[in-house]
Amino acid sequence: MSLYPDKVMEHIKNPKHSGSIANATVVADNGNPSCGDELKYYIRIENGLIAEIKHEARGCAISRAAADLLAEMAEGKSVQEALSLTHEDIISAMGGISEGRRACATLSVDVLQEALNKLYNLP
């Protein structure tokens, strides 16, 4: 039996959104200060929708899986819908994460929001 649920394993083994986007509308990156792991999202917006989203994730398996799963959840959504994705949404989509590893998963949501907020020049 694997350490992680099948859905999480799939995103670890076969990430569908890894890479970069040359003509991204917004880019944001940030890290988890407790371990130094980093995540960068590239997002291309078309007509108010997230047309394409890619990531470069350099971190633990949970953070890489969360980055890929959140990209899957956000792609095709409007900017406003994607901005409403929460820490609890990614944790529940991953089938639950132990208390000590929550920051590994929620980094994805924080970087996504940072990127999308740049569209509005919000801090």
Pick the closer one to ligand FES by CB: 82 or 111. Answer: 111
CA atoms in the 13 A half-sphere facing the CB of 89:
17
State in angstroms the smallest separation of the CB of 65 from ligand FES. 10
The CA distances from residue 58 to 40, 45, 62, in Å, are 9, 24, 11
For residue 119, report the phi and psi dihedrals to the nearest 5 degrees: -65, -25
DSSP state of 33: T
Using CB under 6 A, pick the residue from 17, 37, 79, 113 that binds ligand FES.
37
Distance CA 70, CA 104 (A): 13
Is residue 69 involved in binding ligand FES (CB under 6 A)?
no
Inter-residue contact 24 to 44 (CB < 8 Å): yes
Report the first-to-last Cα separation within the chain, whole angstroms. Answer: 43
Length of the chain: 123
State in angstroms the smallest separation of the CB of 81 from ligand FES. 25
Residues 76-95 that bind ligand FES (CB under 6 A): none
Residues 40-59 that bind ligand FES (CB under 6 A): 59
Is residue 62 involved in binding ligand FES (CB under 6 A)?
yes
Is residue 106 involved in binding ligand FES (CB under 6 A)?
no
**Binding window for ligand FES (CB under 6 A); candidates: 10-18, 60-68, 85-93, 114-122:** 60-68
Residues that bind ligand FES (CB under 6 A): 32, 35, 37, 59-60, 62-63, 104, 107
